[in-house]
Structure 1
């Protein structure tokens, strides 16, 4: 009786085939006892350059920041001091703090992030706009985002705007179209976090095109400069000087970057 049962089971195994039996068993990690689950970071394999505008100590080095450098067919001063709120909160510090929040979140999403400066100190200056403009070219970055704030004294001026380079050969004709898509994505990301387009920039839609910015002109990768608000506006300044407000700016920028890369 036992011999007949053994023969029957052997025949069944041969009929199914060893390959069939093996395929029926779920793959497991050795020592894990469960199937392997693979995950991929949303921005894995992407390289993004973040350019925090200015440097806190620029005003201490007037000769260096006023030195003319190439800016895309013409020359401009190496850098400027940036603006500040009426209470003295510097643009350089605001740009640095928001940039670090953006960089941290993008890295959490799997991206490789390079910053054009690595400090916010009174004893440092630059880098110059030509170095900022070329940042990302050698590493073939997916995009470059230059983070700033404005200092308009126009009555009631407030809100953000995003600046893209024009279609200007031989400088930006190759990146003009994707840069405008990036500008639209960043605008949408900021609006999605409750920020309003600038009411003092021509067009009123939060988008601008400029040919006088070396940071944009010298780029070979899609790039925009974003003026996150007007530091001379009391309403904008309240948001900029608040940790919660800066985090909200950062979330808007990250949303824009993700939308563009999708």
Structure 2
């Protein structure tokens, strides 16, 4: 697992390859022929470093056992909601946070800088993990996030990504900035996409929920309930769509983990969860995480959970 923060060892979690685009074209020859002979038609054309670093914290993350909760109720890459969107999703905004950045490996001094997460100081970001073959968690998280954006935009939602890596964002953003992006967008839901990096044999997904935290700039009292609702919906839809089981190494088989040590959750004022889609260090999970087809299912499952949470 490697999210905006550290992974919990074998009991921890760490807390994405470019999308393929389809397009059509009509050749000049076919167009010319169409003028002379309307029966002619044009055809169409179709057009993944090394081992990941550990936690963003030297000490193991604290995992808080879930307690029953009642559900109450400028950023990069913003998108406009679909024109004429109506119904319960109209005017709603979702912020998607692709875990880590592929450039973090080259900017270790920058991401090692400590930032305030309300309750203590933590590293700005971490590199994230990789599969044994070198496929980066950051590649995975960005790819799934882009696919997720496409699905949500088709539903009429406005979608903001915290970053898209590349030259515009060679490293980061820091965990406090990631939280701020969701807050400033007044997001109706925020989801941080990750994959874990624990030992082989540990498999499955889990969703990380915010604990009730108050300290400095952190106060999660208002988002604990709705975040649990969001996380439960995402977990159940993700399991159904991908066929994945809840993690067998934490969460007691529920696929849900509550944590109080993640800046991305502690500093959020909007309903927010992390999803660890699988374990990159397990060969069976890695085979899924490196599959474009499976990543599309992952994006769909997460999207279905978000839409259900928003009443769509």
> Could you say whether these structures have the same fold, taking a TM-score greater than 0.5 normalized by the shorter chain as the test?
yes
Superposition deviation, residue 203 in structure 1 = 1.5
Pick closer, same or farther for the CA change 1:57–1:121 going to 2, 3 Å: farther
* 1:192 match: secondary structure: helix
- Alignment-derived partner of residue 260 in structure 2: 211
- Alignment-derived partner of residue 304 in structure 2: 255
- Considering only CA atoms, is the larger Rg found in Structure 1 or Structure 2? 1
1:50 to 96, 107, 119: 96
Which residues of structure 2 form unaligned runs of 5+? 1-83
- Alignment-derived partner of residue 136 in structure 1: 182
User: C-alpha deviations, 1:201-237, integer Å up to 9, x for none?
Assistant: 1422100000110011110000000100000111111
Indicate if the aligned counterparts of 1:145 and 1:223 stay in contact, CA closer than 8 A: yes
Q: TM-score, normalised by structure 1?
A: 0.82
1:126 to 168, 172, 179: 172
Number of residue pairs aligned between Structure 1 and Structure 2: 224
**2:273 maps to 1:224:** yes
- Alignment-derived partner of residue 72 in structure 1: 118
Indicate if the aligned counterparts of 1:42 and 1:109 stay in contact, CA closer than 8 A: no
2:229 to 159, 177, 181: 181
Superposition deviation, residue 169 in structure 1 = 2.8
Trace 1:231-246 onto structure 2 (pairs within 5 A): 231-246=280-295
1:93 to 108, 129, 139: 139
User: C-alpha deviations, 1:147-194, integer Å up to 9, x for none?
Assistant: 0000001x5101000001012235111100101111101111111111
Moved more, 41-50 or 80-89: 41-50
Q: TM-score, normalised by structure 2?
A: 0.69
Q: RMSD value over aligned CA atoms?
A: 1.7
- Alignment-derived partner of residue 203 in structure 2: 158
The higher relative CO (CA closer than 8 Å, separation ≥ 6) is in 2
Which residues of structure 1 form unaligned runs of 5+? 1-37
* 1:44 match: secondary structure: coil
